[in-house]
Structures are given as structure tokens and as C-alpha cells.
Amino acid sequence: MQNAAYHISLPARRTSCVVFSSPHSGRDYPAEFLQRSVLGRHAIRSSEDAFVDMLFEPAAEYGAPLLKSAVPRAYLDLNRAAEELDPALIEGARRNGHNPRVASGLGVIPRVVANGRAIYRGKLPMAEAQRRIETYWHPYHARLQSLLDESRRQFGQAILVDCHSMPREAVAGLTRNRSARPEIVLGDRFGASASAEIVDRIEAAFAAAGLTVSRNAPFAGAYVTQTYGRPSRHQHAVQIEIDRSLYIDEAKIEPNENFETFRRVLRAVIAEIAAIGQDRVQLAAE
């Protein structure tokens, strides 16, 4: 099932309260956007969480839906609030205090891609920004919330797993011991967006697959995790960042020779995460 804002893979039957989302893997680049940008198609793709949607596609086989952005992050960032408009890019946008994401050009309508490269020459009309938000941002988040609501109605709780990728260089400086460099970073807003039990079990699933895991550094979770993580309401949210070099050639933005092997590894992890949602459902029913 799909529309202009998202694609969705639904299980034949919901058996897990887990919902997977991939807000940054969209690659449906509007022609008018590519014509307006000063960047070439390859450069503009540097903001993508390339192929993350393909990695998590097996979720539906394990009873959990997967919601995937259709539009690319460089066009509209679904992991930002709709109000995070950049005055340096959007005509008439007002500065509302200091927002480091917006100041760096990474608002809901990004001004730059990776390494601070400008996407546009000049500013965009406010009407264009609002059109993108109405056409893509609101439908995506409405569908995401509806999936979580369905989980809570059916199972009594919901677990959102927000799926992302990170450049290898993002974690290069975290440790001097190369073997201990994290390959997976879990973000739970330092315990605010999900119960410790859930995060512990997600970490254990990745560790059992032989992957090195860290928490909240350098990524603790952004808008999606902060907004949807409400443990007191039985709605948990955990962000997953995966080292891109494990499965793609980062320079070419193409699957590397390890892609299929890593996809098989991740399939087992997805099955374990979906099972967390099944186990918690059973406990809630007892």
C-alpha cells in the first residue's frame, strides 16, 4: 500500500505491537526539485538513509508493519517538527529561539545536505514549504500515529522502532579502540522515550547477531523518538542507527559486497524485535 507521502508494508495479520518506520529512506525525487537544486542527483542523495527500507522489509513477515517515507530527506525531513522552518531558506519564516538543527540548515525543509552543501540558490516561498508539509509531512505522521493507535487498541501497548543509518565517520571519534567502535547506536532520549526493558532486549538482539552496540551517543533520537515515545501511555519509541559501511559503498551510495549477508543478519534481529512485541502482548493479557 502506498501514496504520495509513504509506502507501507503490512503483515497478513498483526501479531506484534511493534511498528517499524523509516523516515529517511525515501528516494522519489520530484523532477521540479531536482531542477531547482544546485546539486547533482548523486550529491543530493548523500542525505538519504539509503536502502534502510530494504533492510527492514522483512518486518511484515514477523507480524509488524513497516512505514517508509516516499519523499527524500533532502526534500522534506520527516524527523523534524512541521514548525522547524529555517528563516535562512524560507521566505517569511520567523526565528523562534535558538534551534541548533534549524541553524545548521537541517530544518523540516533542509537547506543543506551532508557536509553542509547548499541545496538551493536563494530562498523558497513560504507557500512551497507549506505545500510540502501538507502533502507529505502530515499524511506520514497521521499514518504513523494510526499504526501506533492500532497497536495500543489491539495489544494494549505500542513499540515504535525508528530505523536510520549513519555515516561511518559519525562514530569514528567515539573510541580509540577500533574493535569497540559502535556499529549500532540505539537512541531512547536517555531513557525518556522507552522502558529500559525494551531497549535492553533490542540491544541484546543486535549483540546476539555479533554487532557492537552503544546508546544515545552520538544519536539519542530526534523528533520522532521525542514525540512518539510516551512510556507512561504504553507507547515506546527507540531510534536505531546502523553504520552504513556495513552494507553500502558510502561514496557510490550503492549496495556493497556485504549487502545480502548483512540483510540476512538483520532479518534475525528484526524477528527478535518483533518477538519483543509479541511477548509483551502475552504478558499484558495474563
The predicted-structure confidence for 50-108, as pLDDT tens digits, reads as follows 999 999 999 999 999 999 999 999 999 999 999 999 999 999 998 877 889 999 999 99
Q: Are 69 and 22 in contact (CB under 8 A)?
A: yes
- Per DSSP, the three-state class of 213 is strand
Measured CA angle at 276 (ends 275, 281), to 5 deg:
95
The domains of the chain are located at: 6-28+49-76+138-285
Q: Are 157 and 280 in contact (CB under 8 A)?
A: yes
- Weakest mean pLDDT among 1-15, 223-237, 238-252: 1-15
Q: Which amino acid is at 2?
A: Q
Measured over all CA atoms, what is the biggest interatomic distance in the chain, rounded to whole angstroms?
60
User: 158-166 and 235-243 as β-strands: parallel, antiparallel, unpaired?
Assistant: parallel
- Per DSSP, the three-state class of 240 is strand
48, with CB counted inside 10 A (0-12, 13-18, 19+), is buried
Kindly report, residue by residue over 192-229, the tens digit of the pLDDT.
999 999 999 999 999 999 999 999 999 999 999 999 99
- Whole-number Cα distances in Å, 154 to 14, 157, 192, 237: 9, 8, 24, 18
- Per DSSP, the three-state class of 207 is helix
CATH architecture of 6-28+49-76+138-285: 3-Layer(aba) Sandwich (3.40)
Q: What pLDDT, on a 0 to 100 scale, did the predictor assign at position 278?
A: 84
2 pLDDT higher than 70: no
Closest CA to 198 of 248, 158, 141: 158
Q: What pLDDT, on a 0 to 100 scale, did the predictor assign at position 208?
A: 97
Q: What pLDDT, on a 0 to 100 scale, did the predictor assign at position 193?
A: 98
Continuous H helices in the chain: 31-36, 41-44, 52-55, 100-103, 126-132, 138-155, 196-208, 223-228, 259-285
